Amino acid sequence: MKIFVVLDETEFPCHAATYAHACQEHINDAIEGGIEEAAKWVVREFIAAPPAQTALTDDARDAARYRWLRERAWYVDAATYALELRERWRSGDEPPTDSDDVEGALDAAMTAAQSAGGDTK
């Protein structure tokens, strides 16, 4: 949809309409109403700036969260239990799980869920 704007002699918008003819009618009515400055008013098509692309999509936000979380050590510790890579009650003598192990287990769990027809999101 197009929007047309009447700009007064100081280029201040004073009227808007969806078609140019309505803006011209506004100017004519102002002139007939005794507003002499209205003879200097102009009609311009209003062109809105495209919205800024700062908002992340849900997938991009989830990916950013995951990357942020992955960089913190406690993510690996918590994920080892969630993905059943280590039992909580073990003594801790075994070597710690690293992020590659967690990522591999996460990929495998997502693949298994997808193969079973489950939701991977």
Output the pLDDT for position 92.
Answer: 60
Q: How many residues does the chain have?
A: 121
pLDDT for the residue 91 = 60
With contact defined as beta carbons under 8 Å apart, do 85 and 97 qualify?
yes
> What pTM was computed for the model?
0.41
Residues 18-72: tens digit of each pLDDT: 989 999 999 999 999 999 999 999 999 988 777 766 667 888 888 887 777 766 6
Check if the beta carbon of residue 23 is closer than 8 Å to that of residue 15: yes
How many Å apart are CA 26 and CA 14, to the nearest integer?
Answer: 10
**Helix/strand/coil for 16:** strand
Say how far apart CA 66 and CA 75 lie, in whole Å.
10
What pLDDT is recorded for position 108?
82
What ranges do the domains of the chain cover?
3-46, 58-115
Look at residue 78 and tell me whether its pLDDT is greater than 90. Answer: no
